[in-house]
Amino acid sequence: MSDLLANLNPEQLQAVTLPPQHALILAGAGSGKTRVLTTRIAWLVQTGQVDPQGVLAVTFTNKAAKELLARLSGMLPLSFGHSARGMWIGTFHGLCNRLLRAHHRDAGLPQLFQILDSGDQLAAIKRLLKALNVDDEKFPPRELQHFINAQKEAGLRPHAVEAWDDYTRRRVELFAEYEAQCQRESVVDFAELLLRTYELLERNEPIRRHYQRRFRHILVDEFQDTNRLQYRWLKLLADDGREGGACLFCVGDDDQSIYRFRGAEVGNMRDFEREFHVANVIRLEQNYRSHGNILDAANAIIRHNTARLGKNLWTERGAGEPIRVFEAYADMDEARWIMEEIQSLVRDGMSRSDIALLYRSNAQSRVLEHQLFSAGIAYRVYGGLRFFERQEIKHALAYLRLIANPDDDTAFSRVVNFPTRGIGARSLEALQDAARTWNSSLYSTVPHLSGKPGTVLAQFVRLVEDLRRDTARLPLPELVDHVLDASGLRDFYRSEKEGQERLENLDELINAAANFLGESGADVEALAQPHALLADFLAHASLEAGDHQADAGSDAVQLMTVHSSKGLEFDAVFLSGLEEGLFPHENSAVENEGLEEERRLMYVAVTRARERLYLSFAQSRMLHGQTRYNLRSRFLEEIPEGLVKWLSPPSPRSMGARSGAGMRVEPARGGFAPRASQAPARSQDLGGLRVGQLVTHAKFGQGVIVAAEGSGADARVQINFGSAGIKWLMLAVAKLSPA
DNA sequence: GTGACCGGTTTTTTT
DNA sequence: AACCGGTCAC
């Protein structure tokens, strides 16, 4: 016990040992949030305040859930008499899946319902629109998908949606059709997992009471990322003063809320505090990660946001190195500079994997990769396709899904003609029409068809039936193996010229099945029912798409977006592309509170660094095939100059450098640079000025030359003055000086 | 059924 | 620039 609480700082200790009441922990970046969460659980269990089965811990990602469980298992060794066994630890979606499997009847679902990931959902919607003959120009599938998910996240079924115009009325009809289709096919999308569970708990009093009594303590990680429905879900299980229920222990950081665009509702923090009369709000502000200069910069930046719950990070470590800022002439120069700095850090003994290269958008990684690659520096890019999202894996899973549930039309459509077996569009159209008249799934409609479509489709049905029969007694990995062969997938990729990697991935799927089997702790009884286990495996595949990229272990520089860096930390962090329009992103200007979210993103980026932080931007940048001239990011101006060390750009052509002297410049705020309306002229006489250069105008302040035309006395330049607008000025008239 | 071509798009991402 | 999705010709 004393071990458990040793070395906690006073705020952490207070949070960990709070009495059983609702609590909100405002945990700043690097303040030991996970430690508080795990120690709180361990403390509650070890002091006998709660049985392990009375604990429910909710996270957003599988990774976080795994980490929580791993650290908890270390704190609650079996020998102590208590263990993490019996606790429910998982993601919102994983827990909902568990609840819906357990109460599938009450939730109106078959036991072996399957889960659609976003891609499956989109495919299902496209299929629906086609079947209903809906013009997908008027109702773009993606937009409809977004609409449906938004309604579900607001807790609304079609009948409850208020539609004031024809367009929305039609979308609501399609929403209803989509629901009918999902129900018919026994599939459930991500939002549905949450909404179904919510409705189950809300409507079924015995079940709700059961879980309210069972869970005494609910702990929520990354609470600032919860959406409306997740918050309401928590409210149903928690003690709101009427039905008993659990204590909520919510840990989060409003300053790190960066997922508004996918439904996260920071307001949940305030609502929680108010609706649950939270008396215990604890701020964890001591940071154990970064040096002082880095924290001071982060604090200074985030202070520009309004409507914060308020927090200020501090550290006992020293100020450390200044923050290095570099202005490059072009994106390539920026990338080269970063590459050279990395080389120098590595020479000084830093390992590559302790260095991160962050950017606002994925498109920026290309230039950076190019430089690293040509310099022979090992790097690893996060993002991109994940294991269970790969085409070949999706195909294999579709066969497996058909074994578990032949009515899954999404799976059916995906592989009915893959590998090709002469089932063309005509046959499928005939099948779809028939399925509509018989109101049954594609699979079960096949026997009703005659003629050529009937024959070829019957063969496919026979294939699936053979698969089901032949795998009925096989252990899961062998089942998968058999399906890969019998479906023809292996043969297909063997004959593909670039199929080697795909074949390896298919083999990896067998491994994944074996691992799943091992981790599931399936007993003899479960092993005797491979197809039930298969359904579990499929749910696992949908809920956990796998790591972004394997290849870990190697000592490589880490490249990723600022978003994906959340939760990680590195000795050295390079943040590139600090330009208006890029970061803050131009789209954020028109979004409600978009700029504040961008600033939180900046805050997240800065607080990733332990020792060294490098910020850089370029005067010109290739984007979408065109050169853009951007002003430097306002976020740079928000960092106190005393924390910063400006580095001279290598190019003598660059005149924008303010080396050494700190940042005494007029901040050019607001507005974004447009695309250059004209390519930079090579031999124009612009009186020593050039496109891309930063200049100062007596009245408009600082701006970037975006374009030029004419020469000599007729020369005109277009300048982006940020908030003062974009103007064409006669060089002979306007008094411009290099900034 | 496949490959060539055109046109529109292009922030961030988990489940 | 690069990628996706759709269409068209073979």
Secondary structure (H, E, C), A128-147? HHHHCCCCCCCCCHHHHHHH
The more confidently predicted of residues A470 and A676 is A470
Check residue A430 and give its pLDDT: 86
pLDDT tens readout for residues A6-34: 889 999 999 999 999 999 999 999 999 99
Mean of the pLDDT values across residues A453-470?
A: 91
> For residue A179, what is the DSSP state?
H
Closest residue (CA to C1') to nucleotide B14 in the complex: A61
Interatomic CA–C1' length for residue A415 and nucleotide B3, angstroms: 21
> Residue A472 annotated as binding?
no
Separation in Å, CA A216 to CA A39, A44, A49, A83, A244: 16, 10, 9, 17, 9
Span of A366-380, A384-398, A466-480, A489-503 with lowest mean pLDDT: A489-503
Mean of the pLDDT values across residues A444-450?
A: 89
Instruction: Grade residue A80 by pLDDT with cuts at 50, 70 and 90.
Output: low
Instruction: Grade residue A85 by pLDDT with cuts at 50, 70 and 90.
Output: confident
How many whole angstroms separate alpha carbon A694 and alpha carbon A630? 10
Mean of the pLDDT values across residues A52-81?
A: 87
Q: What angle do CA A57, A60, A62 make, to 5 degrees?
A: 85
Mean of the pLDDT values across residues A316-326?
A: 95
The more confidently predicted of residues A572 and A137 is A572
Strand B nucleotides within 7 Å of a protein CB: 1-2, 10-15
Taking only Cα atoms into account, the Rg of chain A, rounded to an integer number of angstroms, comes to: 29
How many whole angstroms separate alpha carbon A661 and alpha carbon A356? 28
Check residue A709 and give its pLDDT: 73
Structure tokens given for A137: 């120009």
pLDDT for A497 beyond 90: no
Mean of the pLDDT values across residues A119-148?
A: 90
Structure tokens given for A333: 């120069």
Check residue A653 and give its pLDDT: 36
Strand order of the β-sheet with A736-738 is: A726-730, A716-720, A701-709, A694-697, A736-738
First-to-last CA distance in chain A?
62
Active site residues of A: 33-34, 221-222, 256, 608
pLDDT for A218 beyond 70: yes
Asked if strand C comes closer than 7 Å to A688 Cβ, the answer is: no
A605 three-state secondary structure: helix
A141: nt with nearest C1' to CA = C5
Cβ contacts of A572 within 8 Å, gap of 6 or more: A345, A350, A354, A355, A356, A609, A610, A611, A612, A613, A614
Mean of the pLDDT values across residues A599-608?
A: 98
Residue entry with tokens 């491994």: A511
How many whole angstroms separate alpha carbon A77 and alpha carbon A200? 35
- Average model confidence (pLDDT) across chain A: 88
Interatomic CA–C1' length for residue A96 and nucleotide B10, angstroms: 35
% of chain A with per-residue pLDDT over 70: 92
Instruction: Name the pairing type of β-strands A55-59 and A88-91.
Output: parallel
The more confidently predicted of residues A240 and A345 is A345
The helix (H) or strand (E) run that includes residue A637 is: helix A634-637
A623: nt with nearest C1' to CA = C1
> Residue A735 annotated as binding?
no
Mean of the pLDDT values across residues A244-256?
A: 94
Could you tell me the maximum CA-CA distance found in chain A, to the nearest angstrom? Answer: 90
A622: nt with nearest C1' to CA = C1
pLDDT for A81 beyond 80: no
Interatomic CA–C1' length for residue A137 and nucleotide B8, angstroms: 13
Interatomic CA–C1' length for residue A448 and nucleotide B15, angstroms: 38
Q: Is A482 exposed, middle or buried (0-12, 13-18, 19+ CB in 10 A)?
A: middle
Nearest to A93 by CA among A676, A605, A545: A545
Separation in Å, CA A169 to CA A140, A143, A158, A159: 15, 15, 10, 10
pLDDT for A432 beyond 60: yes
Span of A222-231, A342-351, A493-502, A511-520 with lowest mean pLDDT: A493-502
> Residue A486 annotated as binding?
no
Strand C nucleotides within 7 Å of a protein CB: 1-2, 6
Spell out which residues of A between 129 and 148 contact strand B, using CB within 7 Å.
none
Q: What angle do CA A518, A521, A523 make, to 5 degrees?
A: 115
Asked if strand C comes closer than 7 Å to A624 Cβ, the answer is: yes
Check residue A486 and give its pLDDT: 95
pLDDT for A666 beyond 80: no
pLDDT for A663 beyond 60: no
Interatomic CA–C1' length for residue A187 and nucleotide B14, angstroms: 19
Asked if strand B comes closer than 7 Å to A192 Cβ, the answer is: no
Asked if strand B comes closer than 7 Å to A383 Cβ, the answer is: yes
Instruction: Grade residue A454 by pLDDT with cuts at 50, 70 and 90.
Output: confident
Q: What angle do CA A685, A688, A692 make, to 5 degrees?
A: 95
pLDDT tens readout for residues A697-727: 888 887 888 777 777 777 788 787 766 767 7
Instruction: Grade residue A4 by pLDDT with cuts at 50, 70 and 90.
Output: confident
Amino acid letter at A597?
A: E
> Residue A656 annotated as binding?
no
A63: nt with nearest C1' to CA = B14
Instruction: Grade residue A136 by pLDDT with cuts at 50, 70 and 90.
Output: confident
Spell out which residues of A between 350 and 379 contact strand C, using CB within 7 Å.
366
Instruction: Grade residue A676 by pLDDT with cuts at 50, 70 and 90.
Output: very low
Asked if strand C comes closer than 7 Å to A625 Cβ, the answer is: yes
Structure tokens given for A673: 């640079």
Asked if strand C comes closer than 7 Å to A135 Cβ, the answer is: no
pLDDT for A359 beyond 70: yes
Instruction: Grade residue A659 by pLDDT with cuts at 50, 70 and 90.
Output: very low
% of chain A with per-residue pLDDT over 90: 69
Sign of CA dihedral A436, A437, A440, A441: negative
Interatomic CA–C1' length for residue A624 and nucleotide C1, angstroms: 6
> Residue A235 annotated as binding?
no
Residue entry with tokens 């070829």: A456
Check residue A19 and give its pLDDT: 92
The more confidently predicted of residues A447 and A546 is A447
pLDDT for A551 beyond 60: no
Mean of the pLDDT values across residues A62-67?
A: 94
A118: nt with nearest C1' to CA = B15
pLDDT for A656 beyond 90: no
- If phi > 0 it is left, if psi is from -120 to 50 it is alpha, else beta; for residue A419 that is beta
pLDDT for A74 beyond 90: no
Instruction: Grade residue A82 by pLDDT with cuts at 50, 70 and 90.
Output: low
A623 three-state secondary structure: strand
A591: nt with nearest C1' to CA = B11
How many whole angstroms separate alpha carbon A587 and alpha carbon A578? 15
Nearest to A378 by CA among A551, A573, A556: A556
Mean of the pLDDT values across residues A597-609?
A: 97
Amino acid letter at A617?
A: F
Check residue A664 and give its pLDDT: 31
Structure tokens given for A324: 């290095």
Closest residue (CA to C1') to nucleotide C2 in the complex: A624
Instruction: Grade residue A231 by pLDDT with cuts at 50, 70 and 90.
Output: very high
Cβ contacts of A273 within 8 Å, gap of 6 or more: A24, A281
How many whole angstroms separate alpha carbon A514 and alpha carbon A478? 9
Instruction: Grade residue A425 by pLDDT with cuts at 50, 70 and 90.
Output: confident
Interatomic CA–C1' length for residue A528 and nucleotide B10, angstroms: 50
Q: Evaluate whether A574 touches A356 at the Cβ level (below 8 Å).
A: yes
Give φ, ψ of A170 to 5 degrees. Answer: -65, -40
Other Cβ atoms less than 10 A from the Cβ of A556: the count is 18
Q: Evaluate whether A295 touches A314 at the Cβ level (below 8 Å).
A: yes
- If phi > 0 it is left, if psi is from -120 to 50 it is alpha, else beta; for residue A213 that is alpha
Instruction: Grade residue A654 by pLDDT with cuts at 50, 70 and 90.
Output: very low
> Residue A29 annotated as binding?
yes
> Residue A539 annotated as binding?
no
Asked if strand B comes closer than 7 Å to A587 Cβ, the answer is: yes
> Residue A108 annotated as binding?
no
Q: Note the Cα A91 to chain centre separation in Å.
A: 14
Structure tokens given for A541: 């595949």
Interatomic CA–C1' length for residue A496 and nucleotide B4, angstroms: 20
The more confidently predicted of residues A241 and A147 is A147
Check residue A685 and give its pLDDT: 62
How many whole angstroms separate alpha carbon A158 and alpha carbon A493? 43
Interatomic CA–C1' length for residue A577 and nucleotide C7, angstroms: 38
Asked if strand B comes closer than 7 Å to A83 Cβ, the answer is: no
Q: Is A332 exposed, middle or buried (0-12, 13-18, 19+ CB in 10 A)?
A: middle
Q: Give alpha helix (H) positions in A154-226.
A: 166-185, 190-203, 205-214
Give φ, ψ of A379 to 5 degrees. Answer: -145, 165
The more confidently predicted of residues A546 and A158 is A158
pLDDT for A677 beyond 60: no
